[in-house]
């Protein structure tokens, strides 16, 4: 049996990123779990190994381009990059500053660009990049700066897909809706019952729902799919009134 191909998952130390890393490892990849929180990355790798998979932890600040280039340069046979790491906070429009936008874009878009550029230089034909956007890209009150950064990720994804198509590298994005994670439950503005009531099916998503979509887009089964932004939100983005 040949050596396993490598996937890198940023923000893989918890929540959605951890689920993505576990899914890709179960699919047979050697998964590099990159996270600002080294202990969280290590915990994810331990779970991968307990399930019989292969993984390595990497402490990484994705805004450090030199560290990003070093990590990707050491990844053997890189077939997939999943850009999951990002930041989020809640601020009303009248309290936002230009620095809030700069901080959000620096992590959610500029750092993502650096990861993609570095990965595209070493990926073979058949490689794939999956970016994590958000349903918030369609518009969201109380976090205009976050919503616009994720709308930018969607535009970046579609444009990069055109740039990398001649190299045989596919680029797609998954846009999660409300996903029940520890981070969501810990937020001071979270009312899970109210959030469920807004869902057409009355249920919130799970990290595994997002991981399954990423696994599919990263797989050979999706070889004819590029430049797409897949909404995984339980139908919330459909709008309209329930029952009418």
| Cα-based distances in Å from 87 to 16, 33, 107, 117 | 13, 17, 7, 20
d(CA 177, CA 136): 8
**Which residues, including other chains, have CB under 8 Å from residue 13's CB and lie 6 or more apart?**
33, 35, 36, 37, 39, 40, 41, 43, 44
Active-site residue flag, 146: yes
> Residue 152: left if φ>0, alpha if ψ -120 to 50, beta else—which one?
alpha
d(CA 93, CA 80): 37
How many helices and strands in the chain, by DSSP H and E? 9, 7
Tokens standing for 74? 């050491």
Q: Which of these is catalytic: 146, 178, 214, 236?
A: 146
d(CA 34, CA 201): 34
Whose tokens are 């932004």? That residue is: 229
First and final C-alpha spacing in the chain: 56
> Residue 167: left if φ>0, alpha if ψ -120 to 50, beta else—which one?
alpha
d(CA 97, CA 206): 33
Catalytic (active-site) positions: 146
């Amino acid at each position: 049996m040949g050596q396993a191909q490598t996937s890198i998952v940023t923000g893989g130390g918890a929540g959605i990123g951890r689920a993505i890393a576990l899914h890709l490892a179960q699919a047979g990849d050697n998964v590099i779990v990159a996270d600002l929180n080294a202990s969280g990355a290590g915990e994810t790798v331990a779970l991968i190994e307990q399930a019989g998979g292969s993984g390595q932890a990497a402490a990484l600040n994705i805004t450090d381009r030199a560290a990003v280039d070093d990590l990707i340069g050491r990844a053997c046979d890189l077939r997939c990059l999943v850009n999951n790491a990002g930041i989020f906070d809640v601020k009303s429009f009248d309290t936002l500053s230009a620095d809030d936008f700069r901080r959000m874009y620096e992590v959610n878009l500029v750092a993502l660009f650096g990861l993609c550029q570095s990965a595209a230089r070493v990926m073979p034909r058949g490689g794939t990049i999956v970016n994590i956007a958000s349903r918030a890209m369609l518009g969201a009150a109380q976090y205009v700066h976050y919503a616009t950064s994720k709308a930018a990720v969607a535009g970046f994804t579609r444009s990069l897909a055109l740039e990398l198509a001649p190299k045989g590298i596919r680029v797609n994005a998954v846009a999660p809706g409300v996903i029940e994670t520890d981070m969501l439950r810990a937020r001071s503005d979270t009312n899970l019952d109210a959030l469920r009531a807004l869902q057409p099916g009355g249920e919130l998503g799970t990290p595994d729902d997002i991981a399954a979509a990423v696994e599919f887009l990263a797989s050979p089964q999706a070889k004819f799919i590029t430049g797409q932004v897949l909404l995984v939100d339980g139908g919330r983005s459909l709008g309209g009134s329930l029952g009418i």
